[in-house]
Structure 1
Amino acid sequence: MSLFSKDPLQIIVFNSYGSDTHFYVRGRALQDENINLEKNNIFSLFVNTWKRFESDEVRNTALTIQLPNNHKIETKTDNKGYFEVSETLNNLTSLTDTEGWLNFEISFTDTNINRKITKNNRFLGKMLIPKLTVDYGIISDIDDTILHTGVISRMKWRVLINTFFVSPLKRKALVGAAEFYNLLHLGKSGKNANPLFYVSHSPWNLYRYLDFFLEKNNFTEGAVLLRTAGSLFKKKTIEEKPQKQNEIRNILNTYNDLKFILIGDAGEHDADIYMEITKNYPNKIKAIYLRSVLHSKKMERIKLLIENYNDTEFFIVDSSKEAIEHAKKHHFIA
């Protein structure tokens, strides 16, 4: 954190998930760079991108979380401004709303911190606790599954352009994707609150960008799970699994009695990840939906990969309309 910067301080809480007895939350304390996500001129977009990745973190600083029942939890940021809380508590479900969200407040513990604080030192956080009455959970990739990204483009140049030089207001959701997810959220009764979990290889620096995109395109609110920017360049060992795969495993381990629908695309490695997860968690995955991509070699690889696959229902769909029709046929949605 720069000694000479005048920017106020803020706490960003990432939408997370937990259970009746497990309070689990992540976030980051940063200087408030006043990023306006609605600006769309090239200069503003470049400046906003610079601010996201050259962020000034608030390091090794005490924070206090207050739950609706006035229970307080103390935590502390690390040397990159991140914090993670994992506490065993009781009866958290009683604190949730009708959609299963537990709303809480977080603040800088030291009210005399030598800096102006945004929002009068009260920052809101949310944690998802699925109701016992839900039909299933939905775990979805983001890039090129619901958001046009360009991960299959040559040298990934479209990813860079879309991320750095396109406002989230201008980013395009795949046609009908929000409708499909909202129907899955409502489930086979049309009245449920099936939980959504959005996973991506994108860094946490893009959390607000992606959260803004999801809200503006009317996607059902859910936990958003990204990764630290440092892990983007970390060389993995042969045994080490991708961060997205680890996040999915953590979700499955959290909800032992809940089955899931996995949604991804054929552009990268979603099929491989989902098939391995299904093998390791038998009878936990109701179905896998994979969006087709305009890349003949990738599509041929996927078709060969699942040619004799029968661990769970596996469907390659060309559109959200096709996915909706299939989900109705199999009574996943009303």
Structure 2
Amino acid sequence: MKHFFVFRWFSSPFRYAFAKLKKKLGKLDRLKLEIFLVIGNGRKVFVKGRVVEAYRQSRPSDKKTALQNLLATLRRYAGSSVPDATILLAYGSHQAELITDSEGLFEKMLRFSDAERQAVQKIRFSLVPEQGLVPETGWVERSVHWIRKPYPRAVISDIDDTVIISKATNIGEKLWLSVSKNAYTRRPFPGVSEFYQLLTANGEYPVFYVSSSDWNLFDLIRDFLSYRNIPLGPILLKDGHINLKNIWKSGGGNHAHKLEKIQFLMEFFPEQRVLLIGDSGQHDPELYAEIIRRFPDRVEAVYIRKVRQGDAAREHNLNQLLPPNKVAWVKTTREALLHAQKHLVV
């Protein structure tokens, strides 16, 4: 399998060369170290983050105007990713060096001895200073999100048009929502908090969010989930760098990366049964069908929110892969909630 954390060197050679030139000339602004994932399965820890030019961002508020939110979006997407930066990791008695790829991303699978598995609770990250690189901060510390045992279920959920109203099938509406709203003014589908609290036993069971949104939206999605009382969990987004010139592509394009990321989660937590939630607007039904084929008896149920007129063939193909009442095609989250209460052990 080609894991989702394999570096993607084929993206924008011009942007990569330009960022390297800025670095060599010492023209990069102060740099920001962003940590996205620090998850462990009891034996290993996977870390992922990136280095970008730092930008000053105000806290979101439900009082912000569309213009203020637009300016915040411009700041979020204006910075350049930083390739070939050196990151130092410290964990337990070990240290490791990572080099950012052409998207400014870095990732690594850390392995521990039996004695260290219980002791290591935090990972420390630092951007190594060099000519042309000025770190915004020193060491950044993150707690490991340990999931050491299988739970009765884990939820793997899409985000756009599944949790958050995004209008992903309409580029104009999607772009306007993206640039004019913030984490406090974006709207969830009615009942999402109650539904996800039910499925996760009020946050006791793990939940993972896998989306085609880009990493620039990581903080917005995290803050949105927290503000709307939707159970928090690791967020896995699309690696391709989005900037002001191609912001309209955010959330679009090829969705194969979602299959890679879900497969990674299935392999990283090999004894865990999962429940999949998505929508029919893009390719979730086909991606989830493939996961069921690759991991027989590991998928408890699937919920698909119907975005537009149903496609009988798509529904039939997915319905054949699980027992009756384990695939639900719903128009509202309320329908999904009622179905779960009736057909799932919660």
Normalised-by-shorter TM-score class: 0.7 to 0.9
Write out aligned runs for 1:26-37 (5 A): 26-37=48-59
Q: In the TM superposition, what is the alpha-carbon distance from 1:7 to its structure 2 partner?
A: 4.5
Tell me the SS of whatever aligns to 1:283: coil
C-alpha contact (below 8 Å) 1:37/1:209 kept by paired residues: no
Aligned to 2:217, the other structure's residue is in SS state helix
Unpaired runs of 5+ residues, structure 1, are: 97-101
Check 1:203–1:305 CA distance in 2 against 1; reply closer, same or farther (3 A cut): same
Contact persistence 1:25–1:84 (CA under 8 A): yes
Contact 1:13 1:126 in 2 (8 A): no
Aligned match of 1:328: 341
In structure 2, distance between residues paired with 1:310 and 1:87: 35
Pair 1:182-2:197 in alignment: yes
Equivalent residues in 2 for 1:236-315 (5 A)?
A: 242-293=256-307, 295-296=308-309, 298=310, 300=312, 302-306=314-318, 308-310=320-322, 313-315=326-328
Partner deviation per Cα, 1:251-294 (whole Å, 9 max, x = no partner): 1111221111001112221111111210121101011111233x
Contact 1:289 1:314 in 2 (8 A): yes
Among 196, 204, 207, the alignment partner of 1:196 is 207
Q: Are residue 128 (structure 1) and residue 145 (structure 2) matched?
A: yes
Name the amino acid aligned to 1:146.
V
- Report the CA distance shift for 1:113/1:89 in structure 2 as closer, same or farther (over 3 A): farther
Deviations 1:78-129, CA, capped at 9 Å, x for gaps: 2432111122223465257xxxxx543211234x7766543x4132335433
Per-residue Cα deviation, 1:219-242 (whole angstroms, up to 9, x for no partner):
222111111235969987xxxx71
Shift of the alpha carbon at 1:54?
2.9
Moved more, 168-177 or 52-61: 52-61
Under a length normalisation based on structure 2, what TM-score does the superposition of the two structures give?
0.79
Matching residue of 1:75: 98
Q: Shift of the alpha carbon at 1:143?
A: 0.5
User: Does the 8 A contact of 1:279 with 1:311 survive in 2?
Assistant: no
**Number of the residue aligned with 2:40:** 18
Aligned twin of 1:227? 238
Matched, 1:142 2:164: no
Does the 8 A contact of 2:29 with 2:53 survive in 1?
yes
Q: Distance in 1 between matches of 2:66 and 2:167?
A: 19
Shift of 1:210: 1.5
| Residue identity matched to 2:331 | D
Does structure 2 conserve the Cα–Cα contact (< 8 Å) formed by 1:16 and 1:224? no
Task: Give the number of equivalent residue pairs.
Answer: 313
1:46 alignment partner, SS class? helix
Separation of aligned partners in 1, 2:74 and 2:313: 37
Give distance in 1, aligned partners of 2:86 and 2:193: 38
**Matches of 1:136 and 1:172 in 2, distance apart?**
27
Counterpart of 1:318 in structure 2: which amino acid? K
Distance 1:147 1:86 in 2: 31
- For residues 301 and 150 of structure 1, what CA distance do their matches in structure 2 show? 23
Contact 1:9/1:32, CA 8 A, preserved across alignment = yes
Distance 1:83 1:328, change over 3 A: same
Moved more, 28-37 or 302-311: 302-311
Distance of 1:80 and 1:292 partners within structure 2? 34
Q: Is the 8 A contact 1:131 1:193 kept in 2?
A: no
CA RMSD of the aligned region, Å? 3.0
Q: Give distance in 1, aligned partners of 2:301 and 2:117.
A: 28
- Among candidates 151, 175, 180, match of residue 160 of structure 1: 175
CA distance in 1, matches of 2:318, 2:28: 56
Secondary structure of the residue aligned to 1:202 is strand
Q: Percent identity?
A: 23
The corresponding residue for 2:76 is 52
Corresponding residue SS for 1:30? strand
Q: Are residues 90 and 316 of structure 1, via their aligned partners in 2, closer, same or farther at CA, if it must alter by over 3 Å?
A: farther
Residue pair 2:89, 2:95 contacting (<8 A) in 1 also = yes
Residue in structure 1 matching 2:216, options 178, 183, 205: 205
Corresponding position of 1:99: none
Residue 219 of structure 1 aligns to a residue in which SS? coil
SS state of the match for residue 230, structure 2? coil
